[in-house]
Amino acid sequence: MKHFSQSDLLNNLPKQFFASLVKKTNQYIEKGYDIINLGQGNPDQPTPEHIVKKLQQAAANPVNHKYSPFQGFRYLKKAAALFYKREYGVELDPDKEVAILFGGKAGLVEIPQCLLNPGDAALVPDPGYPDYWSGIVLARAEMINMPLLEENDFLPNFADLPEEDAKKAKLMFLNYPNNPTGATATKEFFEQTVKFAEENDICVVHDFAYGAIGFDGQKPLSFLQFEGAKDVGIEIYTLSKTYNMAGWRVGFAVGNESVISAINLLQDHMYVSLFGAIQEAASAALTESQECVVKLNSMYESRRNTLINGLRSIGWNVTAPKGSFFAWLKVPGNFTSEQFSDYLLEKAHIVVAPGIGFGKHGEGYVRAGLLTSEDRLLEAVERIKALKIFKMMD
Ligand SMILES: Cc1ncc(COP(=O)(O)O)c(C=O)c1O
C-alpha cells in the first residue's frame, strides 16, 4: 500500500511523552499485576445523574437532531454568563464575551492559531500542560518557558523574565489551580499579571480547568475577577472536571471580546457546533444545583489528606496541593523523575507521571492523581513503605 508521508507541520508536533509510560503500564496490566494508576488525569466519578437525565431527554428532541446553530445555542452562552456571575461576580455579555468549545483542550490549541503569526512567541509555564505546546507548534510560533519554581509557590516570576522575551511574547498561558503542581494563584499574582500583560501587550489565556477544586476553604480565583483582566485576556473553563464530564467535550472561553470573536471565527471554519443535547445538559449543569460540585471537592480534599498524610507518615516529605486533583511529589534520593516513576511501576506497581514530561522544570518531581479511592491511595502508601526508601520519622 502506498504510504503518504505526513506534513512538516505534523512531524514538528511535540512527541507524546507519556505514550511510553502508558505502554509500559499496559504491559504490567496484561501480565495480571494489580496496578494502582495515579498517572493519568481522567476523573474517576460519573457525571451527576441530573445532568445525564437532561442529556437523555434532550437527545430525544428532534430539534437537537439538526445542525446546532454556528457558535452554539444562546441559552448555553447565557448559562455560562450566569455561572460566572454567580460563582465569581464577573459580568459577561453572552453574545460577545463567551465562545462555546469542544472541551478546554480545543480552545487552548485554537488560541495560538487565532492570534499568532509564524515566528511570534508565546509564554508557557514550565512545568505545564503539554497541550499548550501543541497549539503553539500548529501556529508555527515559538515557545518561551516561564519556570514555575517551588520557592515562588509555582507562580512565574515576571521580574525574572528577560525583557526581550517579555517584549517579544504576544500570548501567555497560565493555569491555576495548576496541573501538574497543585498550586493556586493569589490575588497579588493576578493583579501583577494584568499589569505585566498591559505593559507588554500580551494576551493572557488563563486555563481554569480546575477552577472547582480548591482545598482548605480556599475557592480558586478566576482571572476575570481582577480589574482590567478582560482588557488583556480570556479564561478557558471546562465542564470536564467540575461535573465529571470529560467524555462529553464541552467547555467555553470567556473574556476579551476580540479574542472571543477570533475563536468563533476559526471555529466557524472548522465545525458547526456541539450536539444540541450536550449543550442543553451543559446548561443544566451550570445553572442547576451545585451540590454535586461541593461533594466532589470534598471528596478530592479527603483523598488529598489521605495520600499526603500517608506519605508523610512513611517519611516522604511531601507538600500538600492547594487545588486541582494532583499531588506534585519531590523525587527522593538521586533518581531522575523518569527513573523514579519506572522504579515505582516495577517494584510497587504504582503509576505516577514523571515531572520531566511537563517540561524541564518538572524534573525532580512526579505527579500523582487523586483519582482513585482512599483505600487504593492507602494501599499505594503501604506499597511505597515496603520499598524502605524513606527513613521512618519518629
Ligand atoms: C490543565 C488542563 N487544562 C485543560 C485540560 C483540558 O480539559 P478538557 O479538554 O477536557 O476540557 C486539562 C485536562 O486534563 C488539563 O489538565
List pLDDT tens digits, range 7-56.
999 999 998 888 888 899 999 999 999 999 999 899 999 999 999 999 99
| 369 within ligand 1 shell (Cβ under 6 A) | no
CA distance readout (Å), 146 to 41, 126, 196: 23, 6, 14
Reply yes or no: is the peptide bond before residue 112 cis, omega within 30 of 0.
Answer: no
The per-residue pLDDT for 394 is 39
Ligand 1 centroid – CA 179 distance (Å): 9
| 251 within ligand 1 shell (Cβ under 6 A) | yes
How far is Cα 326 from Cα 264, in angstroms, rounded to an integer?
32
The per-residue pLDDT for 15 is 85
- Per the listing, cell 499505594 goes with 380
Which residue has the CA at smallest separation from atom 16 of ligand 1? 179
- State the closest ligand 1 atom to the C-alpha of 179, by its place in the atom list counted from 1: 1
Top mutation candidate among 238, 324, 325, 328 for ligand 1, by most atoms within 8 Å of CB? 238
Q: What is the pLDDT of residues 282-291, one digit of tens each?
A: 999 999 999 9
Top mutation candidate among 240, 278, 358 for ligand 1, by most atoms within 8 Å of CB? 240
- Flag residues of the chain having pLDDT under 50: 393-394
| 233 within ligand 1 shell (Cβ under 6 A) | no
**Ordered domains of the chain (ranges, CATH):** 8-47+291-387 (3.90.1150.10), 49-288 (3.40.640.10)
| 211 within ligand 1 shell (Cβ under 6 A) | no
Top mutation candidate among 18, 105, 324 for ligand 1, by most atoms within 8 Å of CB? 105
On average, the pLDDT of the chain sits at 96
| 18 within ligand 1 shell (Cβ under 6 A) | no
Q: What is the pLDDT of residues 133-188, one digit of tens each?
A: 999 999 999 999 999 999 999 999 999 999 999 999 999 999 999 999 999 999 99
Which residue has the CA at smallest separation from atom 15 of ligand 1? 209
- State the closest ligand 1 atom to the C-alpha of 250, by its place in the atom list counted from 1: 11
Ligand 1 centroid – CA 361 distance (Å): 20
The per-residue pLDDT for 73 is 98
- State the closest ligand 1 atom to the C-alpha of 249, by its place in the atom list counted from 1: 10
The per-residue pLDDT for 391 is 67
Ligand 1 centroid – CA 210 distance (Å): 8
